[in-house]
């Protein structure tokens, strides 16, 4: 009879449990020195070994020939427990037996001694599902059971267990198994099952299992059914994943504001029957990984991915600014909540969100403004870096000739032979100021009308924005607005001069000697 791989490879000894050494070492010591507790509470996420350790502990307590706290697995007691025919090891699923009457049955049975074994062991799985009345009925028995009774409670929801129950048990926390250990175990299992599992495929399976050994082995069993080499591509194909390449391509399209490519990728995902919610969670995970890459010195320590995936992540994250990543992550989380609530067509929600991510100017949120300011700052840095190189290309000789005073004779000759000199460069600022006004108005609607009628004056000392009223000056000089205005002006003008805001004088009002206007 065929047995599922996760059952076939379930550990039967403490030494076979991987990833939980801190728990198994204590349990082995207690059994070896006859210092075990009357009640245990095993808590942790699914598939981390809680029920397996409970069964191993039941065998070790009743083993006729224990080996340093380990069950021998050969005696009648061990075999009866392994085969599920022992009447003294009772497993109960609290999810379906959560009433007070079920616990009363246990309370009535504990008075009877074991029929064949040394200890009567009660294993209650998903104990958090018990009702309040059932917990109350269990309290007294759990606190002072007969010396031949051991309770082992297992749960995935520790916060739902009453404190009165926790205080009567020895608590053991089962942690998520590291992806590295899971990948190694999957390779061993695949080799024993005559399947070829590559390193990349093992890493992807371990990451998808999210620290659960049972889930990882179940996913491996599905992939083995393909009867081919199990690599990263086969795992994505078998489990219906879009793959890191697709996610990276979508993120790059969003960054480059390539809306057609965004719609193409979403169409491909739906046409291939990919679950939009799962795809969306993959995108959120990718942004988390980009955040890790941008903020820590050793990102590989916090990332579970193959070498090819890491290179994709690097190419995706490098051009991104941190504020843009955080803004996109906020939009992704909000969209995921809408999808999970069923508030509309999932694809529509996804596409509308991706368009908003691609065009921050469509949003007036503070995060969108920060992303746009960061983009302008990056452009300014690039312009600042390019300015010295551009200035260095200009030859010095012509500038010396222009600086030298011309002779009167040659000046007269040039007047007759050369065309008229070009107009002064005072009109140049007007061109970039129109562009700056549009950008400022788009990024801050509250000051759009104030800059629309404003003018600009550029001197060697700096750039002065002339507005029509004191109110306009106050609005532009607000702390949250002025820095954005300065960034836009510097980017559009191509200079790094200081920026100031002044009120323009009336047409017939004289300018003071100090350069200010009387009001």
Token pair 């065998």 is found at 59
- What pLDDT is attached to residue 308? 86
Let me know how long the chain is. Answer: 519
pLDDT band at 423 (very low <50, low <70, confident <90, very high): very low
- Contact between 466 and 455 under an 8 Å Cβ cutoff? The reply is yes
- Contact between 9 and 47 under an 8 Å Cβ cutoff? The reply is no
pLDDT band at 512 (very low <50, low <70, confident <90, very high): very low
- pLDDT above 70 for 402: no
Q: Which residues contact 352 (CB under 8 A, 6 or more apart)?
A: none
Which residues partner with 467 through β-bridges? Answer: 503
58-70 mean pLDDT: 92
- Nearest alpha carbon to residue 155 among 207, 97, 200, 95: 95
- pLDDT above 50 for 398: no
Give pTM, 2 decimals: 0.66
- What pLDDT is attached to residue 391? 52
DSSP per residue over 288-323, as a string? HHHHHHHH-S-GGGT----HHHHHHHHHHHTT--HH
- Diameter of the chain measured on Cα atoms: 128
- Contact between 324 and 290 under an 8 Å Cβ cutoff? The reply is no
363 vs 356, which has greater pLDDT? 356
Q: Can you say how many angstroms the Cα of residue 230 is from the centroid of all Cα atoms in its chain?
A: 26
Dig out the tokens for 227 from the structure. 């009867």
- What pLDDT is attached to residue 332? 93
Q: What Cα–Cα distance (Å) separates residue 378 from each residue in 94, 254, 372, 386?
A: 58, 18, 10, 12
d(CA 122, CA 150): 6
Please give the share of the chain, as a percent, with pLDDT higher than 90.
39
What the chain holds in terms of domains, given with CATH numbers, is 5-174 (3.40.50.300), 179-238 (1.10.8.60), 253-366 (1.20.272.10), 426-503 (3.30.300.180)
- Contact between 399 and 509 under an 8 Å Cβ cutoff? The reply is no
Three-state secondary structure call for residue 34: coil
pLDDT band at 182 (very low <50, low <70, confident <90, very high): very high
Give strand ranges (E) for 27-167: 39-44, 89-93, 120-125, 149-155
């Amino acid at each position: 009879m065929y047995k599922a791989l996760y059952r076939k490879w379930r550990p039967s000894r403490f030494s076979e449990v991987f990833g939980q050494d801190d728990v198994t070492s204590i349990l082995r010591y207690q059994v070896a020195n006859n210092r075990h507790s009357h009640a245990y509470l095993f808590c942790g996420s699914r598939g981390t070994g809680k029920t397996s350790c409970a069964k191993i502990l039941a065998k070790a307590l009743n083993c006729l020939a224990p080996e340093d706290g380990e069950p021998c697995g050969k005696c009648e007691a061990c075999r009866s427990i392994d085969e599920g025919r022992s009447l003294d090891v009772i497993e109960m699923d609290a999810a379906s037996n959560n009433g007070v009457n079920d616990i009363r049955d246990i309370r009535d049975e504990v008075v009877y001694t074991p029929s064949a074994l040394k200890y009567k062991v009660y294993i209650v799985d998903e104990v958090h599902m018990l009702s309040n009345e059932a917990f109350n009925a269990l309290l007294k028995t759990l606190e002072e059971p007969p010396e031949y009774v051991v309770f082992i409670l297992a749960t995935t929801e520790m916060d739902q267990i009453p404190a009165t129950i926790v205080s009567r048990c020895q608590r053991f926390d089962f942690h998520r198994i590291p992806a590295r250990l899971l990948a190694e175990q999957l390779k061993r299992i695949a080799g024993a099952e005559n399947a070829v599992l590559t390193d990349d495929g093992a890493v992807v399976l371990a990451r998808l299992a999210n620290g659960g050994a049972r889930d990882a082995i179940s996913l491996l069993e599905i992939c083995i059914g393909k009867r081919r080499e199990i690599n990263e591509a086969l795992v994505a194909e078998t489990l219906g994943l879009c793959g890191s390449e697709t996610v990276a391509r979508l993120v790059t399209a969003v960054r480059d504001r390539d809306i057609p490519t965004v719609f193409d990728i979403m169409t491909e995902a739906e046409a291939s029957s990919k679950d939009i919610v799962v795809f969306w969670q993959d995108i959120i995970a990718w942004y988390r990984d980009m955040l890790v890459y941008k903020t820590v010195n050793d990102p590989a320590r916090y990332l579970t991915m193959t070498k090819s995936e890491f290179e994709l992540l690097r190419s995706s994250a490098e051009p991104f600014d941190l504020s843009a990543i955080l803004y996109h992550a906020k939009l992704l989380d909000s969209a995921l909540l809408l999808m999970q609530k069923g508030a509309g067509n999932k694809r529509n929600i996804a596409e509308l969100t991706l368009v908003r991510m691609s065009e921050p100017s469509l949003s007036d949120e503070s995060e969108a403004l920060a992303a746009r300011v960061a983009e302008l700052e990056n452009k300014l840095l690039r312009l600042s870096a390019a300015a010295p190189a551009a200035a260095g290309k200009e030859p010095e000789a012509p500038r010396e000739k222009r600086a030298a005073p011309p002779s009167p004779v040659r000046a007269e000759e040039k007047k007759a032979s050369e065309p008229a000199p070009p107009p002064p460069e005072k009109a140049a600022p007007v061109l970039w100021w129109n562009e700056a006004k549009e950008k400022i108005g788009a990024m801050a609607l509250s000051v759009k009308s104030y800059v629309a009628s404003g003018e600009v004056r550029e001197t060697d000392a700096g750039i002065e924005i002339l507005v029509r009223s004191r109110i306009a000056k106050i609005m532009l000089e607000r702390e949250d607005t002025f820095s954005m205005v300065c960034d836009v002006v510097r980017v559009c003008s191509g200079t790094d001069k200081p920026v100031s805001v002044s009120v323009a004088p009336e047409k017939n009002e004289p300018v003071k000697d100090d350069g200010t206007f009387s009001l």
